[in-house]
């Protein structure tokens, strides 16, 4: 009897729930025949860095050449920015690419990982893809519980995935708590500090993760050009760690994993301090306004230090998503992430945020939600 191709897959692959990206704005507009706004994927509403756009225009005539597979100039520029050696910098097609490298390198055989429930979905996806056990501890007040993470580390644990700030809750822990965690992590465990939203955090006690790298600690710091720099579509992120760790990850890194255009744009974006400043200021101003409006509506949300909010209407998240979608407002339901009555909304431009609030009102989200 002829077998279905699916029958040839290992059980842990058949059980996978792939990462589902936010609904494309073009698809919504095509289906509903109305203009739409996308507030689902934590993108920069101000768009890409103007310097990055100019650099891409100047370089586009060279895209018939393969990119620099090592990303020499971008790695050197990042190393200079953080006072590191270029050998301590790893490039990826977004941080998701590097998360997958970590899993391929360190979650093989009987090795296991630890993270929190209600965190970045790719941690769970890459572990299951490899058939590796990933232990998930509950969040505490929507925040990573450092004590619980430390207690979950057994002799089989090789990787701790720690999103700081956390996606989708927008919460964070301060550097002194990460210090406590590192003091309790054995030398044979890698701490992956995912700081994709670091530029938005306004707290001098937030992080000194780069110091861990300079001290030679067993830490990999993840950052990205997708958020504040506005280059999400180019897929370029980076990891910072000791050189022998970066060497290990390079063993499983795909060739040419960052395009030439992405490298050129990222280097230009690094120098566009005005764009970063404007992006952060817009986010803080609009975050305050949006929180004030949600307070007036009596709609609960988790206070956030990022460019998004986790909003809890007390109603089924997928139903709320559909109500807003029919009005051309795309948010991200979080039911599958462990928040059955919540959705995540990006902080947009003021006109987008006004439309979002008006859509909430039309959807009937005006009565205070019981505690």
Closest-CA residue to 336 (of 125, 44, 96): 125
pLDDT digits (tens, 9 = 90+) for 23-47: 666 776 667 667 889 999 999 999 9
| pLDDT reading at 11 higher than 90 | no
Q: What residues contact 77, with CB distance under 8 A and at least 6 apart?
A: 267, 270
Ramachandran area for residue 322 (φ above 0: left; ψ -120 to 50: alpha; else beta) = alpha
CATH of the structural domain 5-47+274-362, one choice from 3.90.1150.10, 3.40.50.1970, 3.30.1050.10, 3.10.180.10: 3.90.1150.10
Confidence of residue 363 (pLDDT cuts 50, 70, 90): confident
pLDDT digits (tens, 9 = 90+) for 70-80: 999 999 999 99
Specify the pLDDT at position 16: 60
Specify the pLDDT at position 81: 97
300 strand-pairing partners? 312
Specify the pLDDT at position 371: 36
Closest-CA residue to 345 (of 124, 118, 138, 167): 167
pLDDT digits (tens, 9 = 90+) for 119-129: 999 999 999 99
User: How much is the pTM?
Assistant: 0.91
Closest-CA residue to 295 (of 360, 339, 203, 352): 360
Using CA atoms, how far apart are residues 135 and 195, in angstroms rounded to an integer? 21
Is domain 50-270 annotated with CATH 3.40.640.10?
A: yes
Specify the pLDDT at position 34: 73
Specify the pLDDT at position 365: 74
Averaged pLDDT score across all residues of the chain: 92
Q: Find the mean pLDDT for residues 108-113.
A: 93
SS (H, E, C) the chain: CCCCHHHHCCHHHHCCCCCCCCCCHHHHHHHHCCCCEECCCCCCCCCCCHHHHHHHHHHHHHCCCCCCCCCHHHHHHHHHHHCCCHHHEEEECCHHHHHHHHHHHHCCCCCEEEEECCCCHHHHHHHHHCCCCEEEECCECCECCHHHHHHCCCCCEEEEEEECCCCCCCCCCCHHHHHHHHHHCCCCCEEEEECCCHHHCCCCCCCCHHHHHHCCCCEEEEEECCCCCCCHHHCCEEEECCHHHHHHHHCCCCCCCCCHHHHHHHHHHHCCHHHHHHHHHHHHHHHHHHHHHHHHHCCEEECCCCCEEEEECCCCHHHHHHHHHCCCEECEECHHHCCCCEEEEECCCHHHHHHHHHHHHHCCCCCCCCC
| pLDDT reading at 3 higher than 70 | no
As annotated, the residues of the chain forming the CATH 3.40.640.10 domain(s) are: 50-270
CB-CB contact of 93 with 236 (8 Å): yes
Confidence of residue 116 (pLDDT cuts 50, 70, 90): very high
Q: Find the mean pLDDT for residues 168-172.
A: 98
| pLDDT reading at 277 higher than 90 | yes
As annotated, the residues of the chain forming the CATH 3.90.1150.10 domain(s) are: 5-47+274-362
Q: Find the mean pLDDT for residues 11-30.
A: 66
CB-CB contact of 361 with 325 (8 Å): no
Q: Look at 367 and 203; give whichever has higher pLDDT.
A: 203
């Amino acid at each position: 009897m002829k077998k279905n191709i699916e029958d040839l897959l290992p059980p842990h692959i058949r059980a996978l729930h792939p990462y589902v990206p936010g609904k494309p704005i073009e698809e919504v507009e095509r289906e509903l025949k109305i203009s739409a706004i996308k507030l689902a994927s934590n993108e920069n509403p101000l768009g890409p860095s103007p310097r990055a756009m100019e650099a891409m225009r100047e370089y586009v005539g060279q895209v018939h050449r393969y990119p620099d597979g090592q990303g020499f100039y971008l790695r050197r520029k990042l190393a200079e920015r953080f006072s590191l050696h270029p050998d301590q910098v790893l490039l990826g097609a977004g941080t998701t690419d590097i998360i997958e490298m970590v899993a391929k390198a360190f979650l093989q055989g009987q090795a296991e990982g630890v993270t929190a429930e209600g965190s970045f979905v790719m941690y769970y996806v890459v572990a299951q893809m490899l058939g590796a056990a990933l232990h998930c501890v509950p969040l505490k007040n929507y925040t990573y519980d450092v004590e619980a993470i430390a207690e979950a580390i057994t002799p089989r644990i090789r990787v701790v995935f720690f999103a700081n700030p956390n996606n989708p809750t927008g919460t964070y822990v301060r550097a002194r708590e990460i210090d406590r965690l590192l003091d309790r992590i054995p030398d044979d465990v890698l701490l992956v500090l995912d700081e994709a939203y670091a530029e938005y955090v306004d707290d001098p006690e937030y992080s000194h993760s780069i110091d861990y790298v300079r001290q030679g600690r067993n830490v990999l710091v993840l950052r990205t050009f997708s958020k504040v720099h506005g280059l999400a579509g180019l897929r370029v992120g980076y990891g910072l760690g000791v050189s022998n760790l970066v060497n290990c990850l390079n063993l499983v890194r795909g060739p040419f994993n960052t395009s030439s255009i992405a490298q050129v744009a990222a280097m230009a974006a690094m120098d566009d301090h005005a764009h970063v400043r404007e992006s952060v200021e817009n986010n803080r101003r609009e975050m305050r306004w949006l929180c004030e409006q949600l307070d007036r509506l009596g709609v609960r949300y988790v206070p956030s230090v990022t460019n998004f909010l986790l909003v809890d209407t007390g109603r089924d998240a997928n139903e709320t998503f559909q109500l807003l979608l029919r009005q051309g407002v795309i948010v991200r339901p979080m039911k599958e992430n462990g928040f059955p009555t919540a959705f995540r909304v990006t902080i947009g431009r003021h006109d987008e945020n006004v439309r979002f609030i008006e859509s909430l009102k039309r959807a009937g989200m005006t009565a205070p939600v019981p505690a």
